[in-house]
Structure 1
Amino acid sequence: MRHNFKNLKIWLKAMDLTDMVFEFSKELPANERYNLIDQINRSCCSVPSNIAEGSGKNTDKHFAEFLSIAISSSFELETQLLICERRKYGSVGKLKECIDLVSEVQRMLFSFREYILKTEVKSFNS
């Protein structure tokens, strides 16, 4: 089953997260340009990218696998943001907003993944 990713609330929220994180990463020290900043930007881009990629798969089971990858990327991003927190990089307020939004996206991804898997089971059993 294919989904139009541009209409998915979770994809839109992940895009909001990406925008917010890119803005935050501009505040980080220049010496982190090829380390932490690039890693943060890659992991946050991976979240909506995997939602989009998975939405084009032929089965919901395959879509759920890409949602799992998006979840993993979100935890990677959260860890990198926590590293920023420990190193006292960037604005405390913006960092908290990013961490809060990552948590919200994670909850949405887990719920959506469970919904997709339950829907596939029902479709299979019908």
Structure 2
Amino acid sequence: MAQSHRELAVWQKGLDLACLVYELTRQMPKEEMYRMSGQIVRCSASIPANLAEGNARSTRRDYAHFVSIARGSAAELETFLLIIKRLGLAPAGTVDDLLSRTEEVGRMLTGLRTKLAPNP
């Protein structure tokens, strides 16, 4: 296991994703600032935050739980990005890139969760 959450590639990619999502909100209509923008910033930031918290926990079981929460946040982010794309609230190319990154992080989280699962 990684000694620090900062050593995890999935944490690094999650942090990059959260920063890019924040940048996306700057391109969205101002009236969305208190609607969709706040929600996608929170769920995107939740991904690396939960990885950091889980990594700091004392048991694999606790760690796996926080990885699962991060995976849920990635699924939530994907849903919001699809809504943004459908409504045309941001450039489609930017949203497509973020969707691709979100899917990659989701796959990495699933892999980490599998590694943390107890062996049968």
Do the two structures share a fold, i.e. TM-score over 0.5?
Answer: yes
Gaps (5+ residues) in structure 2?
none
Name whichever of 20-29 and 59-68 sits farther off. Answer: 20-29
Match of 2:94 in 1: 94
SS in structure 2 of the partner of residue 26 of structure 1:
helix
**In 1: Cα distance, 2:93 partner to 2:117 partner:** 36
Count residues in correspondence.
Answer: 120
Alpha-carbon shift at residue 2 of structure 1 (Å): 7.4
Match of 2:49 in 1: 49
Match of 1:77 in 2: 77
SS in structure 1 of the partner of residue 27 of structure 2:
coil
SS in structure 2 of the partner of residue 15 of structure 1:
helix
Aligned-pair identity in percent equals 35
Instruction: Decide whether the 8 Å contact of 1:21 with 1:44 is kept in 2.
Output: yes
- Structure 2 length-normalised TM: 0.95
Rg comparison, structure with higher value: 1
**Stretches (4+) displaced over 3 A:** none
Alpha-carbon shift at residue 83 of structure 1 (Å): 0.6
Query: How big is the alpha-carbon RMSD for the aligned residues of Structure 1 and Structure 2?
Result: 1.5
Gaps (5+ residues) in structure 1?
none
Matched, 1:16 2:16: yes
Q: Aligned partner of 2:52: which letter?
A: A
- Structure 1 length-normalised TM: 0.90
Q: Aligned partner of 1:54: which letter?
A: G
Which digits, 9 at most, give the CA deviation of each residue in 1:90-114, with x for residues without a partner? 1111110000000000000000110
**In 1: Cα distance, 2:3 partner to 2:32 partner:** 37
Q: Aligned partner of 1:80: which letter?
A: F
Q: Aligned partner of 1:99: which letter?
A: L
Instruction: Decide whether the 8 Å contact of 1:50 with 1:69 is kept in 2.
Output: yes
